[in-house]
Chains A and B, each alone.
Chain A
Amino acid sequence: MDSLSYSLRVIWACAKKDIRTALTERLFTIVGLFVPVTVLILMSLFAISGGKAPTAVVMLDQGPYAQAFYQSMDHAHSFILEQTSTTEAARQLSAGEIVAVVTIPADFDSGLRQNQPVSINVAINNLNTDFTNDIRRAIPLSITSFYASSFPNLVNITTHEVDAYPQDTDYIPYLAVSILVIALMIGGLLQSGPASAKEWESHTIKELLLSPASRWAITTGKMLGSILIGLGSAIVVVIVLIFIVGIQPAHWLELIGYTLLCLIIFNSIGVLFGTLIKQRMPVIALSMGTALPLFFISGAFGPISFQTPIIQWMAPLSPAYYLIVLFQHSFHNFYLNTLSMGANTLILIVFALVIIGLETLALNRSVLSH
């Protein structure tokens, strides 16, 4: 038989077999399908909750200056504000429900009109310095903003901003794209790794190793099967991004291409883990243990050039770094590194080929337990 057509038959047979096997384990498949969505939702919630400090404002003065100051705080993007009474604010603070209580005094308006000093009381729950410092930075910022809007003649310094991009990108839409990469990464590793390890646990690897089919065709087929299942996950995650998070891809074709590349790379790594470790539980643990550090060193939270030198040195070693760069471009139309789109893509293709090569080598060198 023609070698190429035989290899294609083997690839498709392995993929089809893995899909059929996965579909018989419905719970595992459902979990595998929704793990990326769960990761996306959980990390988005984490990002949303971590960005702003819940703060109570006690308005003892309802005058126009007091209202303007409240608006300045609201525009500081650092608080989740709620107006409440002195008693309720004290209760919320002692119960740990809020980070701070800002009390606008009864003489706020009159004091300002008479050019008298006004003292704003700020009570802070300082058990977490991250939030505490947010409050300490944001209150003076709100005072400056208030003066700039209410007494512009008193503020002589102004800024003239020149933007690198025509639109701002909020933190959540930026982070959501990075989270898409980790979601596909975890989904890919968890689909393909345990599926490969299961062949060893159930001894069905003998059926594969005792066949004359080439090892690369077998590994490619296994990868293809998990990629096709992973595509289901990817579609669900992208739908969530578009319809729930509310971000639209700027380049659809890029998004489709990079999604496939992402699935190829991380499903290959999963197959490699499964082939080397041969047991499902350790493969799952290793997959999770690999995905999270890769995510944190790959510029998920901001451009890698803004990070510490050690992270800047480590990030290019991870395929997740290049994927985040390319996915950000496909959604937001900006580049996070100085490489061209082609160079980023080429590096990822080399990653994929090396991992597929390692998989084939691992399967070639595999012998049955003795």
Chain B
Amino acid sequence: MTTLNDKAIDIFHLVKRFGKFVALDDLSFTVTTGEIFGLLGPNGSGKTTTINIISGLSAPTSGQVHVMGYDLRTHSRKVLQLLGSVPQETALYEELTAWANLDFHAELFGVPLKDKKARIEAMLELVQLSDRKNSPVSTFSGGMKRRLALARALLHDPQLIYLDEPTLGVDVQSRHAIWEYILNLRKQGKTVLITTNYLEEAQALCDRIAILDHGRLAALDTPDHLRQVSGAGVVEIETAQPTQKVENLRRLAGVTSIEQNGNQLKIAIQSDGRVVPQIIGVITQESEILKFTVREPTLDDVFLRLTGTALRD
């Protein structure tokens, strides 16, 4: 059971309107201290608005937000002190060196002067950029910039770290390195809030995932539970001609949902898969099966079912 002290972020009936447009519609959820929490949703779902409100960059129309027990309306500066952010654009000063960027951040966040040098060195060491500390950031690759932005976010020892698309545009090697750093943060007892468009990233990192759609909470659970709710498996079939028997298939016991795209069928099924022979029987009455696959559901399937769109659309 979650207690008050366990709540890193507590969002309660949050509403944000921009004129007549409702960006957040009575949103409530809690992020527990020490967990990696993923915030997912298609474009315009309210992710950025939620993050901006948590960061104090935008004021809610109504509702309450507490971060680490502090009411954001009255303690926004304290919340910013506890928050480390890695924005999608990294927000690094490209003309300055890695060291100068971290030094500036240390001053902005009031890192004690006696600790500053050691903290900067430790962070550069952590993200393996010590040998490039005097290089201008403009000479860094995308992955190096992400790592430096992460080092900067951790410099003032925040309790809550927010990462916006932490591996967007980085190569596979850097992606796994960044995942490793993020997982280590959890071991240190930090709370991590991630927004990502990579569902495999959410699957690999997140303890829990919230899916937003049209400013509302469409789902909130662990990745495994979300996948289970979506069904025990997914049957993908390619037929010679588009089948006309979709309604027949939908009536079969054990079929959760069906998507048809031309001669492609994606059928979510429940339980142990005993419905599979029946599916084959229905389809072969009118068409030849060219390709047949049974697999476990992915978060993409969950996301598609909940929001009606693929995440990267």
Smallest CB separation, B51 vs chain A (Å) = 10
| A207 interface neighbour in B49, B58, B108, Cβ under 8 Å | B108
Q: Which 10 A-B pairs have the closest CB atoms?
A: A13-B107, A24-B95, A203-B89, A211-B108, A206-B91, A212-B80, A212-B81, A212-B77, A207-B91, A206-B87
Query: Is A210 close to B, CB under 8 A?
Result: yes
Q: Report, as a range, how many residues of chain A touch the other chain.
A: 20 to 34
| A210 interface neighbour in B85, B95, B104, Cβ under 8 Å | B85
Smallest CB separation, A346 vs chain B (Å) = 33
Q: Interface digits, B53-88 against A, CB 8 Å rule (1 contact, 0 not)?
A: 001011000000000000000000110110101010
Chain A residues close to B by CB (< 8 Å) = 1, 6, 9-10, 12-13, 16-17, 20-21, 24-25, 202-214, 367-368, 370
- Are A9 and B92 also in contact (CB < 8 A) when A207-B105, A367-B58 are? no
Query: Is B228 close to A, CB under 8 A?
Result: no
Q: Please tell me if the beta carbons of B78 and A368 are within 8 angstroms of each other in the complex.
A: no
- Are A367 and B80 also in contact (CB < 8 A) when A1-B110, A9-B107, A207-B105 are? no
Q: Please tell me if the beta carbons of B108 and A20 are within 8 angstroms of each other in the complex.
A: no
| A204 interface neighbour in B55, B81, B91, B109, Cβ under 8 Å | B91
Task: Give Cα A214 to B77, complex, Å.
Answer: 8
Q: Please tell me if the beta carbons of B100 and A211 are within 8 angstroms of each other in the complex.
A: no
Smallest CB separation, B197 vs chain A (Å) = 18
Task: Give Cα A17 to B90, complex, Å.
Answer: 17
Query: Which residues of the partner chain B approach A202 to less than 8 Å between Cβ atoms?
Result: 89, 91, 93-94
Query: Is B52 close to A, CB under 8 A?
Result: yes
Query: Which residues of the partner chain B approach A206 to less than 8 Å between Cβ atoms?
Result: 85, 87, 89, 91
Q: Please tell me if the beta carbons of A21 and B93 are within 8 angstroms of each other in the complex.
A: yes
Q: Please tell me if the beta carbons of B48 and A370 are within 8 angstroms of each other in the complex.
A: yes
Task: Give Cα A24 to B108, complex, Å.
Answer: 21
| A370 interface neighbour in B18, B91, B107, Cβ under 8 Å | B18
Query: Which residues of the partner chain B approach A203 to less than 8 Å between Cβ atoms?
Result: 87, 89-91
Smallest CB separation, B107 vs chain A (Å) = 3
Residue of A209, A212, A370 with highest tally of chain B CB at under 10 A: A212
Task: Give Cα A213 to B106, complex, Å.
Answer: 11
Q: Interface digits, B134-162 against A, CB 8 Å rule (1 contact, 0 not)?
A: 00100000000000000000000000000
Query: Which residues of the partner chain A approach B49 to less than 8 Å between Cβ atoms?
Result: 370
- 26 sampled A-B residue pairs with Cβ under 8 A: A1-B112, A6-B110, A10-B108, A13-B103, A13-B107, A17-B104, A21-B95, A24-B136, A202-B93, A203-B87, A206-B85, A206-B89, A206-B91, A209-B57, A210-B55, A210-B57, A210-B83, A211-B109, A212-B77, A212-B78, A212-B80, A212-B109, A214-B77, A367-B52, A368-B57, A370-B48
